[in-house]
Structure 1
Amino acid sequence: MAPKYKDKDGGVVLSFGGQWVSWTHTVVAYTAFLSALFVGVALHYRKIVQNEFYGYPDEWFPSVSATIGDRYPERSFFMIFIAITSGPRFALVGLWYLLTRKPGSKLPGFVASMGFLRTLTCGGWTYITSTDDHDWHDILMISYIVATLPWTTGCIALSPANPQAIKYRKYLAGAFFGTLVPLVYFFIQHKVHRVAGAYTIYAFFEWALIILDVGFDAVTALDFQTFEVLVRDVKGTSKGYVQWLPRYENFSSVPSAVLEKEKDKVIGGVFSLRFTWSEALDTAADVYHGFIFWSMLTSLGLVVWYFPLWHMGISGYEAFVMASVSPALLVGPLRSIIVNNLRIIHLLSLAGVAAYLVVDPARRLFTVGFGVAMSTVGWVATLYSESIHETRFESKLLGLMVGLILSSTAKFAWQTNNPVWPIMHAANGGWNATGLVLGLLAALRFTRKAPLTSGSSPRGKQGGSALLAAFGIGGLFFGLHSLLSDTSTMILWVWEGFPVRGPYFSTHGWCTVAAMSAGLFLGICKPSLAGSWLPYAVGSLSAMVLTLFSHWFGYYGGLGLAAYLMAISVPLISTASRTSPAVTFGLGFFIYVFLVLFHVWVVAYAFVPGGPLVREHTDWIMVTMVVLIGAGVFNFNASQPRKQQPRRSSLSQHKKYFGISTLIVNILFLCAAFMRFPTNDYKPYHANDRVLTAGIWTIHFSLDNDMWSSEYRMRDLIKEMELDVVGLLESDLQRIIMGNRDTTQFLAEDLGMYVDYGPGPNKHTWGAALLSKFPIVESKHHLLPSPVGELAPAIHATLDVYGELVDVFVFHSGQEEDPEDRRLQSEYLAKLMGSTPRPAFLLSYLVTKPLEGNYNTYVSEKSGMHDIDPTDWDRWCEYILYKGLKRVGYARVSRSTITDTELQVGKFVIPHSPGESTQLEARSAEERDHRVQESEVPEGWRFPAIFRGNGVRDHRYHVFDEPRYYN
């Protein structure tokens, strides 16, 4: 085409409109994917629709990764065209930057950098397939997805005055992000539930993402019509350069103000903020300091729990739960001293993070208690002093609440352990030193501005009641801590075993974080709405649904409750901060402590005074929490002036910063969720020998003798003993006093095993869990008769073991003090075990002597079970029983300092058919129990030799000094 100006320096070699960059990018990108699809379908159709579970005709459309990934020549077609795409792609990013850059605005540069990074990572995950290097493929894929969000939202925010382009970007971006929901759903249906045909539906959504992603960038053709690209030869030689000339054509008569409003509707005005490093650092410091507060508060109960756990009763150390009541000190002159020395208070509070340096458990508890006391009084004093200035107060409040979301995210990334807890250190995955250094920097930044009040000056009269405000604070902080400090807590409330019929902790945890994020910003943007009675009714109904129902319906109640608790936190904390902090927060945290103890008493009723009065009454706890929050809602509405000035609907600067920080935390959570997605490709240790190695272990709530989290040490022993199936007892840690943890998540994911958590935390047991290298076909949870003592949990699961169905029972009997309970439980379990005609084994804690009393109910004709070794006289608690299996080995392994109970292990050979199982049962007791030397059994039947003699890490074969083998 002819140039638009007179060429003075040389001839024009080439001239074209900027829109051709977009069209070239679009055509070549689509060609890369579609050519691979057409060639793949033509040459390898059945191979590329085949997945790890199903093939044609169950699956009949290939996924993107299967199409472009591994086969020649379709992979080559894709790679050639995707390489060609990179040129116009970089040009597109550059043109977009030139089009949108403005003096004083840093957003265009940031968006362009995301576009550049996105292009590089796209080349990375397409050229490095999962077959080449699975880790790097995943890292680059995650990076691409993360960079896509700011690129998409940034392009919408920077759109020029072109209403047609804005409309298309809105539709395409909405469709793109909306498609992610069914995409993830059908991938879970395929990967977790193994539904035939689910992967084909997933593939359609995956291809839709490709079409929408490329289509979103194609919209730039409408904007680039303002550009003309000229290549000029300035000296008559081969040297030339490119000049970008805007055409300045008017594409719309719509006023720019209208277009700006249109863009704000799409993104809520988030990207219209004026970025400064100072405000960004302030926001980061507020959020991280809030994270430190929640990390310390959630660790206190955990270190307190260590002492009654090892004393088997009230130890006296439980008094440290009162550390959080420290805001009661904010009275008289002491209040003024604390408010005027907040930097010192907040720095002292970091003692709770530094407590990992204290080895002695009792002294570590003292250090954590001091840190929690300083942190609680420091935060309350900060909120109180800042409450006279709306913006500064909201920033601190948002820091506190987004800090809770960050704490839940960190726990998810560390599989329910917080990396800065005092039970963590370098040996078990802790990041304590890093957390402490960042905490010091955050505390210094957090306290860089002097308080707005000395704490002693009188304030204007506030409406409402300080007592009612305290009730609301107590119920609120208990709800936040007990239900939202870990994303798997409410999921395990509604968990009922296999097949999976509800949410799964590693794939649906983000739903809880998303609900928390949405609720928080509803509360901060519309506090009067969040504090009204209609949301309270919805929150109360949600609490009832979570308490009474299971599976997805129960979890929907949990999501509603999560959103409500975060939303109501804003008006309740705001109201409480404007009155006497010693009453509202001092009494409020006292009520919180009462609820924490109530929360423990319902399951620990057999060991505490007055415990039977609240036995198994989680429903009472939920009602109490809701009523207390209701008192706070009543006080909030009573304290509001009758006529209020309408609040501005647009987001202020500090809210936008916290909105972005919350979005970043959500992205980090999704990245962690991607890395934790279950592979379900687990393999047993000795498949060629058809051997199943099973173990039973009472893990004492995953705290070792020295008060360190014991998951890593447990993992090492389970792996080295080559356990294919293991039952864990005393494993329910989803309570405040136990840190709201779940050891089974780490063990299952690190060892490559399926997991059934067993009866959930709302079932009032100490827990029973099952880990298996073999698929869990079905599982049911049982609560055995316990009229007097603690509830006895049991799991009855059916495993697919080398193509044969085998039943496994995991069971924890009641304590020694209640013989009638144990008798009833033995009869129930014997009947349950006798009800299955399949081969089966029991991994249990029976509390009986061999060959005596209830032992003869468990090992009887009614149950059909046999003792793994009737001659082992040195047992009281742990037993392994079996039927219909060939028992070939038995061992007992010392615990070291991990717990108070050894690991017992049995080896079984799985029969090829029911007939073979019947033959095994027909053998006499003498034939079954005939022992042989290790040299007489195949190599694959033998136990690992590393635990002979002195063993390793204080783990060794003991009692028998060596394993026993049977013919």
Structure 2
Amino acid sequence: MAPKFKDGDVVLAFSGKWVSWAHTAAAYAAFLSAFFVGVSLHYHKIVQNEWFGYPEEWFPSVSATIGDRYPERSFFMLFIAITSGPRFALVGLWYLLTARPNATLPKFVAFMGVFRTLTCGGWTYVTSTDDHDWHDIFMISYLVATVPWTAGCLALSPNNARAVKYRRYLAGAFFGTLIPLVYFFIQHKVHRVAGAYTIYAFFEWALVLFDVAFDAVTALDFETFELVIKDVNGSSKGNNKMVADAVLEKEKSRQANEVFGHAFSWASAIDAAADVYNGFVFWSMLTSLGLVVWYFPLWHMGISGYEVMVMVTVSPFLLGIKSIRVLVVRNLRICHFLALSGLLGYLIQDPARRLFSVGFGVWMSCLYWAATWYSVAGRPKALEAKISAWTIGLILSSVVKFAFHTSNPIWPTSHAQNGGMNGLGFILAVLAVLRSSRNLVQGEGNLGISGRKEGSSVLAGFGIGGLFFALHSLLSDSSTMILWVWEGYPVRGPISAPHGALTIFAMGAGLVLGLFREDIARSWTAYGIGCVAAAVLTLYTHWTGFYGALILTVYLLAASVPLIGSAARKVPVKAFGVGFLVYNFMVLFHVWLVAYAFVPGGPLVREHTDWVMITTMLLIGCGVFASLSETSSLQRKRSHLDARKTRSYYLYILGIVQLMSVSIAYLRFPTNDYVPYHKDDKVLTAGIWTIHFSLDNDMWSSEYRMRDVIKELEIDVIGLLESDLQRIIMGNRDTTQFLAEDLGMYVDYGPGPNKHTWGAALLSKFPILNSTHHLLPSPVGELAPAIHATLDVYGELVDVFVFHSGQEEDPEDRRLQSIYLSELMGSSPRPSILLSYLVTKPLEGNYNTYVSEQSGMYDIDPTDWDRWCEYILYKGLKRTGYARVSRGTITDTEIQVGKFLIGEKDDEVAEVRNARIDEGQVPEGLRFPAMFRGEGVRGHSYHVFDEPRYYA
């Protein structure tokens, strides 16, 4: 008979802890039953992966165990379905236990708990075989939601020392396991290390055990519950103090409670989101300016006059005129709307007019942000909010570029045909301006008009210039510094995806540091650490250099808070006018490093990235000095607590942005399962193309069109020249990321952006076993980059060289380069292919050094007289075909393509080797695509010969 209490009869009563135990038992049963059944019935099959099997791999991963095989999959699905009931009950009880009046964190944690449960069902019942994309989406959503669920449970833990201790241990073990898990997965997936997947599997199983055990700890808290449901201790009403409450009684000023311990307001959250989007729009327009300016000297092959548009950022100089300053401060909304004209450039077809549209938008945007910071400088809460919005806007811009393979979908070089989302971006920008400026008090703040000076305004301007340049040049794309430390295969450092998420995480961590510990961020100690980190990035490669990059990233974002705040309290014309002028000087400085052959005075700074980095840090040091020279402000201190309440909404957004980057990193993780187009015929199709920095004749980004023609030509290995886009003037882009992932190819970016070349890259359907980067002798002209890579082609090692020779004006450079490359090719005993830009006439001059006994290389077609730049050479292979394909309007250079049969060699006798045959005598798998005959497609067709050439 059920017991009776004073509140009435109870039909059934049991302790809440049994909900936790039921959840734990069912969850462990799901995984362990699948494990034992799988090992018993299909051991050798579930330890097999794409590279190795038993005995190299001898322990199955979780995914292999619970996957598609019957009956272990059925065991798992049965018990995981049973787990769902206790799971929902566990989340509900946790909410009842932790909910307090006007507290939003318990609601958020409960939502994440329900979301995790639903996504668990998603990846459980939709396997990778059923739908690989949706399986991955559900899986990454589950893993991402685990972070706030775990952190939230820790923050809300009731005052139960035993439970808190176990949660800390298990959470630490869970997150600590992620590091070796990712490491060994990369060892397996990228490096193909035998046995690495087995070690990875152990860590994967450990994650499962720790994840379930973390939730099992709730049994210690749910002992206070008696179900049907009756709370015998009153914890759900807030009568029992939580750990956070107990600590807060002793530490009234604890920052976490000041930030998050207030009622959630959707209006304030939307305001913060609108502010952040405004920051995103600013960075989107600023990063596009250099790209549209670059188009003109690129096509003029020299100074065009349009370069003057880089100076539009100095519009804050207008704030030096009192009447204009008052007019702008009192009409910030109008200024902001005028700035949005930069987003409408995509509607303009004419490149020059599009440039002017973007230039005007950037002019007004720089003026708006400088005036905004200045106008709210007397109110620390508002100033911190605007600085947070601007910096999170930069982080969001980097995340969006991470998602879109380093392109920004609202740039004026984008439109619907190449992945642009310009219309949506503009509509959101208009809504964001309307929202963020609806309550704007015109001309607000005593400081806004009169101005109060503390310290040197000019030094603050120097600091702003150095800071803005560092943020733009290094952090406007998450892969820039990764490519600084990239040195080729085998992989010995970070790769753009997934490790771009680490850069983005460091950006977020730096901003949090600057907000919570501004005293540290503005200190000389932090500055010294930042300088050391900059030196490490500049001088070292691989992981060592990247560690310096991450520390520098944290410092730059942390320093943004005090440096911008300090500049806002200075004379605006000196702080922001001088700041943007110095920024422009640094932009030109870092362009001159590689463009020295085309600009006046260029040779003076040739190849001096170290000078740029030193100057940048010295400028930031000036800003640090100016900020430290300010007197303390009682008003700022008193307002700081109120600012922390507003701060929470920006931190929520920052957290969401960080979770987005983790999700993108997971979805972009390289699969390394690429297949050549004609593997059964053992054909290698190689091509060379000078892509002219991925801007077409009409100033549109060209990577989508490039992808289409490379795919249609069925090219397995292609060298891309003029491909280094990781500079401000080129938008800090990397076209090779998009091409490699979309086409399913391995990629070597070639010499990085700190190597001062115009770029050479290699894409390959075949694994790149080793690659070495070379900078060939260039005593006078531009540096000549080269890649020497060894590929695994159908089990045979083949060397591929990608090379861009110096320009025509420097014959001695080109002569020295021909000797260097000839010796390099001759040193390889393996079959080899050169994909190159040689700047020579066939059969004349340096041609006879490249094609010589020393190099051992043959010309793919010595009778092709109509060449000057691009050449394909080879040795130790059977060449079966050669074609030239017109470029359309993508670039200024054609595509040259050759076909080679692996396992055979051409005859040494030239007459036999170069004998041509009709296409009818060529097997179908060795032919070039027929779609490019005649007029071809989209401006691409066989030309010069009007058809491909085939050889016996």
Using the TM superposition, give the Cα deviation of residue 244 of structure 1 relative to its aligned residue in structure 2, in angstroms: 4.0
Matching residue within 772, 776, 785 for 1:784: 776
Tell me the distance in 2 between the aligned counterparts of 1:64 and 1:130: 13
- 2:768 aligned with 1:768, yes or no? no
In structure 2, do the counterparts of structure 1 residues 299 and 255 end up closer, same or farther at CA, with 3 Å as the change threshold?
Answer: closer
The aligned counterpart of 2:732 is 740
Q: Is the 8 A contact 1:833 1:863 kept in 2?
A: yes
Using the TM superposition, give the Cα deviation of residue 166 of structure 1 relative to its aligned residue in structure 2, in angstroms: 2.8
- 2:614 aligned with 1:623, yes or no? yes
Using the TM superposition, give the Cα deviation of residue 14 of structure 1 relative to its aligned residue in structure 2, in angstroms: 3.1
Per-residue deviation, residues 870-903 of structure 1 (Å, max 9, x unmatched): 1100000000000010000000001000000000
Tell me the distance in 2 between the aligned counterparts of 1:21 and 1:435: 47
Using the TM superposition, give the Cα deviation of residue 274 of structure 1 relative to its aligned residue in structure 2, in angstroms: 2.0
The aligned counterpart of 1:126 is 124
Using the TM superposition, give the Cα deviation of residue 460 of structure 1 relative to its aligned residue in structure 2, in angstroms: 6.6
Tell me the distance in 1 between the aligned counterparts of 2:544 and 2:716: 33
Matching residue within 364, 372, 382 for 2:372: 382
Q: Is the 8 A contact 1:282 1:446 kept in 2?
A: yes
Q: Is the 8 A contact 2:57 2:195 kept in 1?
A: yes
* 3-state SS of 1:497 partner: coil
The aligned counterpart of 2:404 is 414
Tell me the distance in 2 between the aligned counterparts of 1:159 and 1:641: 38
TM-score normalised according to structure 1 size: 0.95
In structure 2, do the counterparts of structure 1 residues 642 and 160 end up closer, same or farther at CA, with 3 Å as the change threshold?
Answer: closer
After TM superposition, the structure 1 stretch with the greater mean CA deviation from structure 2, 174-183 or 339-348, is 174-183
In structure 2, do the counterparts of structure 1 residues 262 and 178 end up closer, same or farther at CA, with 3 Å as the change threshold?
Answer: farther
Matching residue within 453, 459, 474 for 1:468: 459
Q: CA RMSD in A?
A: 2.2
Matches within 5 A, 1:294-693: 294-331=283-320, 332-448=322-438, 449-451=440-442, 453=444, 459=450, 461-641=452-632, 652-693=644-685
In structure 2, do the counterparts of structure 1 residues 831 and 37 end up closer, same or farther at CA, with 3 Å as the change threshold?
Answer: same
- 2:930 aligned with 1:939, yes or no? no
Tell me the distance in 2 between the aligned counterparts of 1:870 and 1:161: 83
Q: Is the 8 A contact 1:270 1:659 kept in 2?
A: no
Matching residue within 35, 38, 62 for 1:37: 35
Give, as a single letter, the amino acid of the residue that structure 2 aligns with 1:306.
Y
Using the TM superposition, give the Cα deviation of residue 532 of structure 1 relative to its aligned residue in structure 2, in angstroms: 1.3
Tell me the distance in 2 between the aligned counterparts of 1:652 and 1:8: 48
Q: Is the 8 A contact 2:451 2:569 kept in 1?
A: no
Using the TM superposition, give the Cα deviation of residue 177 of structure 1 relative to its aligned residue in structure 2, in angstroms: 2.3
Tell me the distance in 1 between the aligned counterparts of 2:813 and 2:851: 18
Using the TM superposition, give the Cα deviation of residue 256 of structure 1 relative to its aligned residue in structure 2, in angstroms: 7.6
Q: Is the 8 A contact 2:158 2:243 kept in 1?
A: no
Tell me the distance in 2 between the aligned counterparts of 1:278 and 1:101: 22
In structure 2, do the counterparts of structure 1 residues 651 and 19 end up closer, same or farther at CA, with 3 Å as the change threshold?
Answer: farther
Tell me the distance in 1 between the aligned counterparts of 2:95 and 2:442: 42
Tell me the distance in 2 between the aligned counterparts of 1:43 and 1:261: 58
Tell me the distance in 2 between the aligned counterparts of 1:445 and 1:7: 52
In structure 2, do the counterparts of structure 1 residues 577 and 97 end up closer, same or farther at CA, with 3 Å as the change threshold?
Answer: same
After TM superposition, the structure 1 stretch with the greater mean CA deviation from structure 2, 930-939 or 451-460, is 451-460
Tell me the distance in 2 between the aligned counterparts of 1:804 and 1:266: 62
Per-residue deviation, residues 226-274 of structure 1 (Å, max 9, x unmatched): 22224xxxxxxxxxxxx44545489989988325579998977654232
Per-residue deviation, residues 487-531 of structure 1 (Å, max 9, x unmatched): 110000011000011111112111111111111121122222211
Q: Is the 8 A contact 1:333 1:456 kept in 2?
A: no
* 3-state SS of 1:98 partner: helix
Give, as a single letter, the amino acid of the residue that structure 2 aligns with 1:373.
W
After TM superposition, the structure 1 stretch with the greater mean CA deviation from structure 2, 884-893 or 274-283, is 274-283
Matching residue within 854, 859, 868 for 1:867: 859
The aligned counterpart of 2:161 is 163
Matching residue within 814, 831, 849 for 1:839: 831
Using the TM superposition, give the Cα deviation of residue 650 of structure 1 relative to its aligned residue in structure 2, in angstroms: 11
* 3-state SS of 1:668 partner: helix
- 2:60 aligned with 1:68, yes or no? no
Tell me the distance in 2 between the aligned counterparts of 1:133 and 1:357: 38
Tell me the distance in 2 between the aligned counterparts of 1:339 and 1:145: 46
Using the TM superposition, give the Cα deviation of residue 2 of structure 1 relative to its aligned residue in structure 2, in angstroms: 4.1
The aligned counterpart of 1:5 is 5
- 2:877 aligned with 1:880, yes or no? no
Matching residue within 885, 892, 896 for 2:884: 892
Q: Is the 8 A contact 2:881 2:898 kept in 1?
A: yes
Q: Is the 8 A contact 1:475 1:591 kept in 2?
A: yes
In structure 2, do the counterparts of structure 1 residues 458 and 751 end up closer, same or farther at CA, with 3 Å as the change threshold?
Answer: closer
Identity %: 69
Matches within 5 A, 1:16-35: 16-35=14-33
Structure 2 unaligned regions, length at least 5: none
Tell me the distance in 2 between the aligned counterparts of 1:457 and 1:953: 56
Give, as a single letter, the amino acid of the residue that structure 2 aligns with 1:948.
R
Q: Is the 8 A contact 2:382 2:643 kept in 1?
A: no
Structure 1 unaligned regions, length at least 5: 231-242
* 3-state SS of 2:387 partner: helix
Q: Is the 8 A contact 2:465 2:583 kept in 1?
A: yes
* 3-state SS of 2:128 partner: coil
Using the TM superposition, give the Cα deviation of residue 161 of structure 1 relative to its aligned residue in structure 2, in angstroms: 3.5
Q: Is the 8 A contact 2:721 2:759 kept in 1?
A: yes
* 3-state SS of 2:5 partner: coil
Using the TM superposition, give the Cα deviation of residue 195 of structure 1 relative to its aligned residue in structure 2, in angstroms: 1.8
Give, as a single letter, the amino acid of the residue that structure 2 aligns with 1:692.
L
Using the TM superposition, give the Cα deviation of residue 470 of structure 1 relative to its aligned residue in structure 2, in angstroms: 1.1
Matching residue within 672, 688, 691 for 1:699: 691
Tell me the distance in 2 between the aligned counterparts of 1:276 and 1:743: 42
Give, as a single letter, the amino acid of the residue that structure 2 aligns with 1:668.
M
Using the TM superposition, give the Cα deviation of residue 50 of structure 1 relative to its aligned residue in structure 2, in angstroms: 1.5
- 2:843 aligned with 1:851, yes or no? yes
Using the TM superposition, give the Cα deviation of residue 151 of structure 1 relative to its aligned residue in structure 2, in angstroms: 2.4
The aligned counterpart of 1:233 is none
After TM superposition, the structure 1 stretch with the greater mean CA deviation from structure 2, 476-485 or 654-663, is 654-663
The aligned counterpart of 2:744 is 752
In structure 2, do the counterparts of structure 1 residues 458 and 180 end up closer, same or farther at CA, with 3 Å as the change threshold?
Answer: same
Give, as a single letter, the amino acid of the residue that structure 1 aligns with 2:504.
V
- 2:109 aligned with 1:108, yes or no? no
Using the TM superposition, give the Cα deviation of residue 17 of structure 1 relative to its aligned residue in structure 2, in angstroms: 1.5
Matching residue within 209, 217, 220 for 1:219: 217
- 2:900 aligned with 1:908, yes or no? yes
Q: Is the 8 A contact 1:228 1:247 kept in 2?
A: no
Tell me the distance in 2 between the aligned counterparts of 1:660 and 1:465: 35
Q: Is the 8 A contact 1:466 1:580 kept in 2?
A: yes
The aligned counterpart of 2:245 is 257
Give, as a single letter, the amino acid of the residue that structure 1 aligns with 2:568.
S
TM-score normalised according to structure 2 size: 0.96
Tell me the distance in 2 between the aligned counterparts of 1:497 and 1:262: 55
* 3-state SS of 2:629 partner: helix
Give, as a single letter, the amino acid of the residue that structure 1 aligns with 2:95.
Y
Tell me the distance in 1 between the aligned counterparts of 2:212 and 2:258: 25
The aligned counterpart of 1:806 is 798
Per-residue deviation, residues 551-597 of structure 1 (Å, max 9, x unmatched): 11111111111111111111111111111111111111111101101
Tell me the distance in 2 between the aligned counterparts of 1:204 and 1:855: 57
Tell me the distance in 2 between the aligned counterparts of 1:304 and 1:268: 48
Per-residue deviation, residues 147-203 of structure 1 (Å, max 9, x unmatched): 223322333333333333233223322322232222222211211111222212211
Per-residue deviation, residues 200-223 of structure 1 (Å, max 9, x unmatched): 221122111111111121122122
Q: Is the 8 A contact 1:161 1:259 kept in 2?
A: no
The aligned counterpart of 1:236 is none
